[in-house]
Amino acid sequence: MATTTIERPSRRWLGAGLLGAWSRRGAQERADARLGLLLATPAIVTILLIAIIPLAQTIQDSLFQISLRFENAPRPFVGLGNYLSALSDDSWFNALRVTGVVAGASVAAELVLGMIIALLINRSFRGRGIVRASVLVPWALTTVVSAKMWAWIYDGRYGIVNDLLLRAGVIDQPIIFLVRPEVTIWAMVAAEIWKTTPFMALLLLAGLQLIPHELYEAAALDGASRWQAFWRVTLPMLKPTILVALLFRTIDAVRMFDLPRVLTNGGPGKSTETVVLYTYNTFFTALNFGYGSTLAVMIFLIVTLISFVFIKVLGTPTQGARR
Amino acid sequence: MTAPAETAGAPTTAAAYARREQAKPYEGVGFYAFVVGFVVFCLAPFVWTFLTSLKGPTTIYDVPIRYLPSPPDLVNYRDIFALERFRWALLNSTIVASSATAISLVIGSLCAYAIARLNFPFKNLLLALVLAIAMFPGIAIIGPLFREFNAWGLTNNYLALILPNVTFTLPICIWTLTAFFSDLPSELEDSARVDGCTRMQAFYKIMVPLAAPGVFTAAILLFIQAWNEFLFARTFMSQPNRLTATVAIAQFEGADISAQYPWGQITAASIVITLPLVVLVLLFQRRIISGLTAGAVKG
């Protein structure tokens, strides 16, 4: 577009030779635009069919009372009735609280731990390859498998955590980790932190390596201590990376389903039931597709709100995380 | 670079600081203790699962725990491979994850090429859409997809898992490949077109072969994501022989339901299911890390 407006005047005073060049150029641009749209079409159609249209359907379903329990049950329109029900649904607010605690605690811990790890391994040393490979193991590991692994590690009789604590004399009775609500939620947070901290460290490390060394030399010349250099140079330079990492980790934590489903199934009671798990159970255990859709729409809105806030801070509205 | 410490009149703190900086690469004992601690932190749960999987039914429930299997016993691995459901689960996961990866690569590479090289209308809208899919909560579409797939008879059909997996792997595919295509010099393509190639020929004959490392990196990332998928797999597959590995292990009851919860078999199955991923990670760690972080930090 920009080229067209710049070159349009040349048509008037530079004669027929350039006129030909311009129209060829314009034709080329139009051909590129057509080809670009054509090449992007399969991706756009896939996204529309599998994500956007079903999302619209979910929004529509959220306005009806739909139970799949009985075939041919009436499906009355209830307007915003389901949303009003959610406002007085203790289970929903419990799930919101659980999700908030788990997401807040795990993302905060991941950021601090990941930052410490990244700062310490941001240098060349022997054995870097081993560190890099082992960082990727928790990241690549199937979440369901990691949940099973932690269930075994936390086991009340045969778990190795109890074994180590007993041998060290920290406790004299095994802790039944997955039965006491006030313990279980933190056991789950610990498993989540284990799985995702290494990846956070990796992202932050990549960001650290982009900071020009001259900045630290200048800071040192000005008499800055290492601590000051961290606050005045490292953190501001790392801010975009931190924000991107926080955005994706926070959204992942809000969408958490596999870990609570397999490690605790939301229990004991509802003490580890996250919003997605509660919504899933509303769909497929209670078979209440109307109310389930309402909860699903609210999760979508929460995710949208969080990403909107982050992207506002990031300041790149359409390009987001990547270039 | 020449040492600021030698500059006349430089503050002594700066001089000391500069000397500390130059002491890199640092090889102190404390540093390596930290590195070893970190590696142990990352690997310990996995190693413990592996050790457990090698214990026979008599030693696995010993209290106090015996850390090393003595002697190592492959009985758990024999038991799980004797289970038809488990063999099916591995096959199902392989089919779903590889098909989703292949389809996503084709769709994603076309789209990524367009984004990297061509100017077309609504490009920013497309980028926003891709970003939105990366953050999309699967739960927000699971109801309609479940009902539609039921209505079309797609339940227990591989397509029911392949389609959502393609959709949700597209963002990583498009980001990784756009970064790779943008880094390739456009002169190569231009000269091919001067020689009479159409844009599409230039894409297939020049860009795709050159971007092979990028396509390969993307393939690894997509495969891992699709292999680990649980929410849709659990919802759209119900027949015992159609479950994927993630669902099979979540619902694992073991060969003998009357026995104690079969931790030996669970841990053996865990190792088998994650083995492909760990092998990929060990072989291609550099590629994976560059693919994962390139886009995120270039912001």
Lowest mean pLDDT among A289-293, B19-23, B37-41: B19-23
pLDDT tens profile A17-35: 555 555 566 777 888 888 8
- What's the pLDDT score for residue A179? 82
Between A97 and A122, whose confidence is greater? Answer: A97
Asked if residue A250 and residue A123 are part of one domain, the reply reads yes
Distance from CA of B87 to the nearest CA of A (A): 17
Q: Is the pLDDT of residue A12 over 50?
A: no
* Distance (Å) from the alpha carbon of B175 to chain A's nearest alpha carbon: 7
Of B15, B22, B53, B92, which Cα lies nearest the Cα of B269? B53
Residues of A in contact with B125 (CB under 8 A): 318
Closest CA to A188 of A94, A103, A255: A103
- Contact between residue B21 and residue A216 where contact means Cβ atoms under 8 Å apart: yes
Structure tokens at A109: 């811990």
Residue A7, pLDDT > 50, answer: no
CATH of the domain at B289: 1.10.3720.10
Q: Which of B174, B280, B295 sits opposite A43 (nearest CB)?
A: B174
The closest alpha carbon to B112, from A48, A42, A47, belongs to A42
Is A16 a residue whose pLDDT tops 80? no
Weakest mean pLDDT among A157-161, B20-24, B155-159, B208-212:
B20-24
Structure tokens at B292: 């994962």
Model confidence over A58-116: pLDDT tens digits?
A: 999 999 888 888 877 788 888 888 899 989 999 999 999 999 999 999 999 999 999 98
Q: Residue B253: is its pLDDT beyond 80?
A: no
pLDDT at A158: 83
Among A127, A153, A148, A116, which Cα is nearest to A234's? A116
Q: So what's the pLDDT on residue B295?
A: 54
B145 and B227 both lie in a single domain: yes
The percentage of chain A sitting over the pLDDT mark of 90, rounded to a whole number, equals 38
The pLDDT of residue B8 is 41
Q: Give chain A's domain count.
A: 2
Q: Which residue's entry shows tokens 């769709």?
A: B107
Predicted pLDDT at A9: 43
Is the domain of B168 the same as that of B20?
Answer: no
Instruction: Give B167's contacts in chain A (Cβ within 8 Å).
Output: 46-47, 50-51
Q: What CATH number did the domain enclosing A228 receive?
A: 1.10.3720.10
Could you tell me which residues are beta bridge partners of residue A77? A64
Residues of chain B with Cβ-Cβ distance to A280 below 8 Å are 139, 142, 231
| Domain assignment present for B23 | yes
Q: How confident is the model at residue B2 (pLDDT cuts 50, 70, 90)?
A: very low
Q: Which residue has the tokens 């972080």?
A: B293
Q: Would an 8 Å CB–CB cutoff place B41 in contact with chain A?
A: yes
- State both tokens at A240: 């975009």
Q: Distance between CA B82 and CA B144 in Å, rounded?
A: 37
Least confident of B4-13, B199-208, B261-270: B4-13
Both A207 and A267 in one domain: the answer is yes
Give, for A173, the enclosing helix (H) or strand (E): none
Q: A123, B25: Cβ pair inside 8 Å?
A: yes
Q: Which residues of B touch A217 (CB under 8 A)?
A: 4, 18, 21
Top residue of B12, B42, B199 to mutate, by most chain A CBs within 10 Å, is B42
User: What average pLDDT does range B94-114 have in this prediction?
Assistant: 94
Residues A26 and A130 in one domain: no
Residue B199 domain-assigned (yes or no): yes
Give how far Cα A227 sits from Cα of A165, A214, A217, A231, B84, Å. 35, 17, 14, 7, 59
Q: B43 lies in which domain range? A: 4-53
User: Do A150 and A47 reside in the same domain of the chain?
Assistant: no
A to B CB pairs, distance under 8 Å: 333
The model's pTM:
0.85
A145 and A276, same domain (yes or no): yes
Q: Same structural domain for residues A305 and A176?
A: yes
Could B45 and A129 be called an inter-chain contact, meaning their C-beta atoms sit closer than 8 Å?
no
Confidence at residue A144, expressed as pLDDT on a 0 to 100 scale: 93
Q: Are residues B29 and B148 in the same domain?
A: no
Question: Could you tell me how many residues make up chain B?
Answer: 299
String of DSSP letters for B197-262: --HHHHIIIIIHHHTHHHHHHHHHHHHHHHHT--HHHHHH--SGGG--HHHHHHT---S-TTSS--
Secondary structure (DSSP) of B49-60:
HHHHHT--TTTT
Q: How far apart are CA A320 and CA B4, in angstroms?
A: 40
Using an 8 Å Cβ cutoff, are B272 and B91 in contact? no
What percent of chain B has pLDDT above 90?
Answer: 34
Confidence of residue B195 (pLDDT cuts 50, 70, 90): confident
Total domains present in chain B: 2
Same-domain check for residues A131 and A274: yes
Tell whether B146 and B286 lie within a shared domain: yes
Higher pLDDT, B240 or A321: B240
Output the average pLDDT for chain A: 84
Question: What's the average model confidence in pLDDT over A140-159?
Answer: 89
Does one domain contain both A185 and A297? yes
The reply to whether B251 and B207 lie within a common domain is yes
Q: Which SS3 state, helix, strand or coil, does residue A77 take?
A: strand
B9 near A CB under 8 A: no
The tokens for A25 are: 């150029």
Residue B180 in any domain: the answer is: yes
Note the pLDDT tens digit of each residue in A174-216: 888 888 888 899 999 999 999 999 889 888 988 888 888 888 8
Residue A319's pLDDT is: 39
Q: A323: which DSSP letter?
A: -
B289·A167 Cβ contact <8 A: no
Place of tokens 């015996």: B66
CB contact under 8 A, B297 and A136: no
- Asked whether residue B67 is domain-assigned, the answer is no
Has residue B89 been placed in a domain? Answer: yes
Same domain, A281 and A134: yes
Domain-located, residue B92: yes
Would you say B254 and A303 are in contact if contact means Cβ atoms under 8 Å apart?
A: no
* HSE toward the beta carbon, residue B227, CA cutoff 13 A: 22
Residue A82 in domain: no
pLDDT, averaged across chain B: 83
Chain B: residue whose CA lies nearest to A153? B45
Which residue(s) pair with A288 in the sheet?
A67
Which of A40, A61, A82 terminates a domain? The answer is: A61
Using an 8 Å Cβ cutoff, are A310 and A240 in contact? no
> Residue B231's pLDDT band (boundaries 50, 70, 90)?
very high
Residues A57 and A99 reside in one and the same domain = no
Lowest mean pLDDT among A14-28, A99-113, B186-200, B258-272: A14-28
Last residue within a domain, chosen from B53, B73, B91? B53
- One domain, residues A250 and A304: yes
In angstroms, rounded to a whole number, what is the distance separating the alpha carbons of residues A317 and B132? 11
In a domain, B283, yes or no: yes
Query: Across the interface, do A158 and B63 touch by the CB < 8 Å criterion?
Result: yes
Tell me whether residue B143 is in a domain: yes
B140, A194: Cβ pair inside 8 Å? no
Check whether residue B221 and residue B139 sit in a common domain.
Answer: yes
Question: B32-84, pLDDT tens digit by residue?
Answer: 888 888 889 889 999 999 999 898 877 877 777 778 887 888 888 998 898 88
Nearest-CB residue to B297 (from A158, A210, A262):
A210
- Of A217, A16, A19, nearest to A7 (Cα)? A19
pLDDT surpassing 70 at residue B142: yes
Domain hosting residue A33, numbered range: 2-61
Q: What is the arithmetic mean of pLDDT over B225-231? A: 93
CA distance A112 to chain B (A): 14
B17 CA: distance to closest CA in chain A (Å): 6
Both A118 and A221 in a single domain?
Answer: yes
Task: Select the more confidently predicted residue: A127 or B126.
Answer: B126
In a domain, A81, yes or no: no
- Residue A276 confidence (pLDDT) above 70: yes
